[in-house]
Structure 1
Amino acid sequence: MNMTERFRPHRPGPDGTKPHAVIIGAGVGGLATGALLAARGYQVTIFDPLDAPGGRAYAYRQDGFVFDAGPTIITAPWLFEELWRDCGGRLADDVEFRENTPFYKIRFDDGSVFNYSGDREAMEQEVARFEPDDVKGYRSFMDESRRIYEVAFEQLAAKPFHSISFTAKVLARLVRLGGYRSVYSVVASHFKNEKLRNIFSFHPLLIGGNPFSATSFYCLIAHLEGKYGVHYAVGGTNALVRGIASLVTRNGGTIRLKETVETILTKGNRATGIRLSSGEEVSADLVVSNCDPASTYGKLLRDHKRKRWTDRKIARGDYSMSLFVWYFGTNRRYDDVYHHTMVFGPRYKGLLDDIFKKKVLAEDFSLYLHRPSASDPSLAPEGCDAFYVLSPVPNLASKTDWQEIAKRYRKKVEQRLEETLLPELNKHIVTSRVTTPVDFHDRLLSWEGAAFALEPKLLQSAWFRPHNKSEELENLYLCGAGTHPGAGLPGVVCSARIVADMVPDPKAFSDRRNGGDTFQ
């Protein structure tokens, strides 16, 4: 049974006995929120314009290959175990996680390679190969990463920053953590070797941040990975998506696909439902948006008078970079290529300046090469390999004409891979597709084609990020990459948990709502 059949749009309305939660977007954040709310006793309906759940974690299936469209790295596996538990299931019954060891291989432009893992002794040996004097710095950096993790992730990631008093209460701790510093500046204070500085500072790029401006809170990723490992889902990340979607439907929720939400309906200062592009209106006791917050406020609430997230504020935001992604399959296997490989180009800071500040498409690039069939041969036909290669690029504020340049850019990426990791690649490609920033804008409804919503800078994090409980409307909540705590699979699952904890107990809804009122 294919995904479109399994989650075919169907229209049973709310059963009349449960409060109705409408969720806009079937990405991981929307699905996780829907699963938790359904388990709590809400009647849940999720709407999504695509033909299968997943959003950025969609899967392309063509010519016998399976390509995860977006996320490929799973950290914090316990968050998913807790999600299944709270929805009445067991993760291991639906999804199998396996650990990558090492986590990544990092290839520099001169051909040198660093094997990045969670083994402290092996990591110290790798660091020593590059700069023996930096072993001490590695130890002190990992200690700092742990301290940041213990506050920024363990204590604050699942807490809503919608209250000034709460924010003020934790501000001193945030200042002590040095959140005003950038990730790169923290790393540079521990390491002398420039390659090592790049190795230990690139992680914010995985969630849309520039290491030279992303708040140092994201240094926590090193400890998170080291403590819990880097995993993949057998069958691809979309297998995890399908599992979360099944939690929704098992608890009575409905997923309506190929349905685009055009407007969030309001009455006074309350969200009361949604209007679809077909003209159908669906009433709700609460609305949860898994959309990019800029699109939520700038498009879905374009006719509603807003106090904080005005059109001007949205336009002045700093949005993450976008991505150029090439998915391809080969009729041979490249068994010496690892599951996750970072292919660094000749420049680091200069390239990031071009992407984030100057917003120009540079001639050089750094790449992330994903070869899932290295660990899971089921994702490609026998004797073949499935790949995707990702290049961080400016978002659509760059005015790059991707229709004109995409083919040439793809060819440059192909040549680079042939020179470095995949000899004679052009002779072995049997299937191919490309995603550009235009696809993020048009297909995923992402503001400016940004791949990760707002850039995770200090003044766009925590209280400064769009709140999980909307500042503009009662009964409206936000989940996903653009709200607190931010992008990445752990972030969006935490956002779902925050929303599920904040919404009213469904038992608290009065029978009066059957007369047309919603809970306040």
Structure 2
Amino acid sequence: METRIAVIGAGIGGLASAALLAAQGHRVTVFEKSEHVGGKVRRIGVDGVQVDGGPTVFTLRDVFDELFHRCGSSLDDEVTVRPASILARHAWDRNGSLDLHADPRRSEEAIGDFAGAAAAAGYRSFRREAARIYRILDNSMLRGSKVSWPLPLMWRIGLWRVGDLIAIRPYESLWKVLGEHFADPRLRQLFARYSTYCGSSPFSTPATLMLVAHVEAQGVWLIDGGMSALAAALQRLGQRNGARFRFGQGVARIDIGRSRASGLTLDNGERFEADAIICNADPASLADGRFGEAARRACRAVPPKRRSLSALVWTAHADTAGFDMSRHNVFFSPDYAREFADIAGSHPPRDPSVYVCAQARDGSGRTAHGRERLQVIVNAPANGDTHDYSDEERARCTMAMRRSLSRCGLELEDPFPHSLTTPNEFNQLLPSTGGAIYGRASHGWAASFLRQGTRTRIPGLYCAGGSTHPGAGVPMAALSGRLAAHAVMRDLASMRRFHPVVTPGGMSTRSATTGATG
């Protein structure tokens, strides 16, 4: 019998699960409340051009190579992808900058030239430790289903590998451990920044997150058309295998029948029956009752103090001067601790670090000419549901951002043609989150094990997306979609294995195993 699978939301996780399930012959329908795919991957019109306003860094290409292969295509057949020779350019003031390169030997040389031989040696030791943590957790946790701490994770790693469990350093802060590798505070700050990739403070995250630096060191890739082109390719992949997409179709309620998810009721009142449902929305929206009272129990609520960072994001089309940018650029605050103290106090940072994606640059440092598409990001508290960012405050935040850039030598056109997205707008895009872009913050040793997993408390209802296991970021969202697709297929196969048996009295009796599964 053909199975019907509903996917709520066409973000990267939902697109990945829809493509994989459709390729296996399931009848998949994706319901997306907006008029385009991508979720956080989106474009914003500024000054007559479209500027990418979502994720910008594409890593772990092998995740997508495998996904496209499983669906009968290849990544290179669907989008144009090329490696960036410069991973990112970093600056603290006007006295030069530091590039990290795709070639680690060049990065080591650059660090040595920037901060001396001891710093280059520290980079080598840091790379070794980050690579080891990644190797330990790649298959056991990042690409596998959610696991608990410590015994289930130890079982996956290998009971005889006790040293590996200690080596991931879950009980020490990232900031502290970076001090073992780097005496220069600028380098400590540079590699601490990777905690913000999952929306967290380097002063509160475990040193385990050094693995993020290793992920980026394996390669950053540039996609012609940006992440929106990747989302469109995933949509085409699903459609070629029979997935249907219904845009402008919000879901009012997830229906529960016989103790399991049985279908959806749309905003227009239409009822859609389904054998399985994948929710590609932040789990907070389930727990908050946005998909109906019955679905509240699917997930635990995330307390506001456990939310990840939000952001202030300027999408712009403007001239720049002074600083020679690469594709990815970071301009650091002179007081990193105060920056995160401001955010913890529910205030935008007064003297922020600023990330700038110069979308016309080719990743090798080549200079662009004329106005260019820019995405400018400053970390902010996830208070979009409790605090109103007034016009005056938005102007203050813009001035603070421009001061940080100017301190490092980058001048922006004035007036500055832009659109500003604050935690208020992110809370509208991601309801019930306060604008937290990355789900639950990775603060404390247990945070990764408390993140919502693929399966929920309601049989037949699954989660996918950057706010679920294994974590934030485009490749992690795709992995979550793969995990959701596999869980759906396993569970449906398990249910089909047992059938009602006709008794002499004419009654049908459910298998005890089937009852337990449902």
Q: SS of 2:188's equivalent?
A: helix
Measured after TM superposition, the shift of residue 169 of structure 1 is: 2.3
* CA distance, structure 1, for counterparts of residue 385 and residue 347 of structure 2: 6
Given that residues 262 and 276 in structure 2 are in contact (C-alpha distance below 8 angstroms), is that contact kept between their aligned partners in structure 1? yes
Given that residues 454 and 460 in structure 1 are in contact (C-alpha distance below 8 angstroms), is that contact kept between their aligned partners in structure 2? no
1:328 aligns with 2:340: no
* CA distance, structure 1, for counterparts of residue 231 and residue 427 of structure 2: 22
Give the structure 1 partner of residue 503 of structure 2: none
* CA distance, structure 2, for counterparts of residue 142 and residue 170 of structure 1: 24
What amino acid is aligned across from residue 303 of structure 2 in structure 1? Answer: A
Given that residues 360 and 398 in structure 1 are in contact (C-alpha distance below 8 angstroms), is that contact kept between their aligned partners in structure 2? no
Q: Alignment partner for residue 357 of structure 2, among 362, 370, 381?
A: 370
Given that residues 105 and 116 in structure 1 are in contact (C-alpha distance below 8 angstroms), is that contact kept between their aligned partners in structure 2? yes
* CA distance, structure 2, for counterparts of residue 224 and residue 350 of structure 1: 28
1:100 aligns with 2:84: yes
Label 1:386 to 1:351 Cα distance change in 2 as closer, same or farther (>3 A). Answer: same
Give the structure 2 partner of residue 58 of structure 1: 42
**Aligned-residue CA RMSD (Å):** 2.8
Higher mean Cα deviation, 59-68 or 17-26? 59-68
* CA distance, structure 1, for counterparts of residue 179 and residue 197 of structure 2: 19
Q: Alignment partner for residue 129 of structure 2, among 136, 144, 148?
A: 144
1:452 aligns with 2:442: no
Give the structure 2 partner of residue 488 of structure 1: 473
Higher mean Cα deviation, 132-141 or 164-173? 164-173
* CA distance, structure 1, for counterparts of residue 446 and residue 426 of structure 2: 21
Measured after TM superposition, the shift of residue 225 of structure 1 is: 2.2
Q: Alignment partner for residue 469 of structure 1, among 433, 455, 460?
A: 455
* CA distance, structure 2, for counterparts of residue 136 and residue 424 of structure 1: 37
Measured after TM superposition, the shift of residue 54 of structure 1 is: 0.6
Give the structure 1 partner of residue 108 of structure 2: 124
Deviation per CA, 1:269-296: give whole Å up to 9, x if none: 2111122222222111001111111112
Measured after TM superposition, the shift of residue 152 of structure 1 is: 1.3
Label 1:478 to 1:226 Cα distance change in 2 as closer, same or farther (>3 A). Answer: same
Q: SS of 2:452's equivalent?
A: coil
Deviation per CA, 1:310-341: give whole Å up to 9, x if none: 5xx53366011101001111267889322111
Label 1:334 to 1:42 Cα distance change in 2 as closer, same or farther (>3 A). Answer: farther
Measured after TM superposition, the shift of residue 170 of structure 1 is: 4.4
Unaligned runs of 5+ in 2: 501-513
* CA distance, structure 2, for counterparts of residue 139 and residue 167 of structure 1: 28
Q: Alignment partner for residue 248 of structure 1, among 217, 222, 238?
A: 238
Label 1:210 to 1:502 Cα distance change in 2 as closer, same or farther (>3 A). Answer: same
Give the structure 2 partner of residue 70 of structure 1: 54
Unaligned runs of 5+ in 1: 1-16
Deviation per CA, 1:333-377: give whole Å up to 9, x if none: 88932211101122112211221x32222321111011011129x
Q: SS of 2:351's equivalent?
A: coil
Given that residues 359 and 397 in structure 1 are in contact (C-alpha distance below 8 angstroms), is that contact kept between their aligned partners in structure 2? no
1:338 aligns with 2:322: no
Q: Alignment partner for residue 114 of structure 1, among 98, 104, 126?
A: 98
* CA distance, structure 1, for counterparts of residue 340 and residue 319 of structure 2: 34
Given that residues 307 and 436 in structure 2 are in contact (C-alpha distance below 8 angstroms), is that contact kept between their aligned partners in structure 1? yes
Label 1:105 to 1:167 Cα distance change in 2 as closer, same or farther (>3 A). Answer: same
Measured after TM superposition, the shift of residue 508 of structure 1 is: 6.3
How many correspondences in the alignment? 490
1:502 aligns with 2:487: yes
Given that residues 366 and 391 in structure 1 are in contact (C-alpha distance below 8 angstroms), is that contact kept between their aligned partners in structure 2? yes
Measured after TM superposition, the shift of residue 121 of structure 1 is: 2.4
1:20 aligns with 2:4: yes
Q: Percent identity?
A: 28
Given that residues 265 and 271 in structure 1 are in contact (C-alpha distance below 8 angstroms), is that contact kept between their aligned partners in structure 2? yes
Higher mean Cα deviation, 110-119 or 281-290? 110-119
Q: SS of 1:440's equivalent?
A: helix
* CA distance, structure 2, for counterparts of residue 317 and residue 478 of structure 1: 22
Q: SS of 1:202's equivalent?
A: helix
